[in-house]
Amino acid sequence: MIKQHPFQYEEWPDDSALSESDRSLLQEARQVTELAYAPYSNFWVGAAARLISGAVVTGSNQENASYPVGTCAERVLLGHAALRYPGDAIETLAISYHPKDKSSYVPLYPCGMCRQALLEYELRFQRPIRLILSGMEGAVHCIESANSLLPFAFTGQGLRS
């Protein structure tokens, strides 16, 4: 038996179709790429999240010469949000990037480890995290829940079965 798992997202040619609030959040993610520490990959990633309370938190990737030790922007942001604003769920998270000496106009999707971390955060607060994905310019993808990025995910339910 063949089954399908649908994936839906909105795609816009640029950020002009976004609400002012979403455009501002994406701009914050674009700006925070400058705070990344990426001397090895030269690939700077920034993330900005608006919490339910209205607070905004940010994160950027932090590399290490021992590659597995580095941390992606999304997980830096999740740790920051959990420590600074415990109990305050994330409403929307924007992610942007720019590689050295190249343009970034294609939306960037989180890596597998970050998808798992985002899903866990959704489960923790029992609410979806809306994602806005874009480079420094060009197309923008909007996804209503990080859960959409990781179908058949491993969750705490698997530990209890």
CATH code of the domain containing 58: 3.40.140.10
Q: Is 84 exposed, middle or buried (0-12, 13-18, 19+ CB in 10 A)?
A: exposed
Domain count, the chain: 1
Q: Dig out the tokens for 75 from the structure.
A: 């997980």
Domain-located, residue 121: yes
The whole-number pLDDT of residue 154 equals 83
The whole-number pLDDT of residue 161 equals 66
Domain-located, residue 160: no
Active site residues: 74
Domain-located, residue 60: yes
Domain-located, residue 125: yes
Domain-located, residue 3: no
Exposure b/e, 37-73, CB count within 10 A at least 16 = b: ebeeeebbbbbbbbbeeeeebbbbbbbeeeeeebbbb
| Strand arrangement, sheet containing 90-99 | 10-12, 140-143, 130-134, 90-99, 43-51, 56-60
All residue ranges of the chain with pLDDT < 70 are: 161
The whole-number pLDDT of residue 97 equals 98
* Domain containing residue 62: 20-151
The whole-number pLDDT of residue 157 equals 76
